[in-house]
Amino acid sequence: MSIAITEKQKEVLIRLRQELRLDGFASELENQYENLSIYAGLTFEERLISCIEKQEQADKERKCANLIKRAKLKDHLRLSDLTKTSQYGLSKETLASLASLQWVTKCCNIIISGSCGVGKTGLANALAYNCCSNGISVRNYRTSDLLLELSAKQGMEKIKFMKNLQRYNVLILDDLGLAPITSEETQDLFNILDDRYRVAPVIVATQLKLEGLAIFLGNDTKAEAAADRLLHPSIHIELKGPSRRK
């Protein structure tokens, strides 16, 4: 049976929520006020720890929600949503390794290749969602859109944009290789990969095989350098099977 909250208790809750913005702490304290008989057996410290843990959980959820919003993901799939992955060439062991996030700490790029509709974007977004859930910032781009945006910027505006890209712990380049790129775009792509080389990983989703990526980037020195930074070090995942869209 819940107990009516006193005016003094209401004042405490208002100050926690409105002045200190400790909504999680206030929610747990309000719960304790209303169910005093249940919490009567706990010490003051135990009740306080419960409030602190509730606030920590609320902060984590809010941070995750903000990271997901800024990531601009196409899908909000989680790794646990990816069922029947073995028939597409993705083993449970590989999925577990990706979920561990060691590839982030080791700055190891991930190359996801496969035919149209096989689930490349879905896997990339699920990896990104897992990163956001663990406080790791992500930014998702369709590669052609990113290169187009970069080509429209000049001077300090372009430098500022590139520096902003560096702030993200993980960068997704989706649909890389769908259309040929110009020498200027190859230069921009090299700059992106060079900035992140052994500092922050890139996830690439592409229909091209590894050897096709090198050909796509071109055969000049800059293109070879871009391919080298993308593929070393990297984890290659080739998805197989029929289109999931069917």
Cα separation, 105 vs 107, whole angstroms: 6
Residue 84 is predicted with a pLDDT of 64
DSSP conformation class of 174: E
Residue 206 is predicted with a pLDDT of 96
Residue 18 is predicted with a pLDDT of 96
- DSSP string computed for 43-102: -HHHHHHHHHHHHHHHHHHHHHHHHHHHHT-S----GGG--S-GGGT--HHHHHHHHTTH
Cα separation, 97 vs 23, whole angstroms: 35
Predicted confidence (pLDDT) per residue in 159-201, tens digit: 999 999 999 999 999 999 998 899 899 999 999 999 999 999 9
Which residue ranges of the chain lie beneath pLDDT 70?
Answer: 1-2, 83-87, 245-246
Residue 92 is predicted with a pLDDT of 83
Please say whether the beta carbons of 183 and 219 come within 8 A: no
Would you say the C-alpha torsion 235, 95, 142, 66 has a positive or negative sign? negative
Would you say the C-alpha torsion 94, 97, 101, 105 has a positive or negative sign? negative
Residue 74 is predicted with a pLDDT of 87
Cβ contacts of residue 1 below 8 Å, gap of 6+? 37
Scanning 3-43, the segments in alpha helix (DSSP H) are 7-14, 23-34, 36-39
Q: What is the 3-state secondary structure (H, E, C) of 97-139?
A: HHHCCHHHHCCCEEEEECCCCCCHHHHHHHHHHHHHHCCCCEE
Please say whether the beta carbons of 161 and 153 come within 8 A: yes
Residue 82 is predicted with a pLDDT of 80
Q: Domains in the chain, ordered, with CATH?
A: 7-71 (no CATH), 79-238 (3.40.50.300)
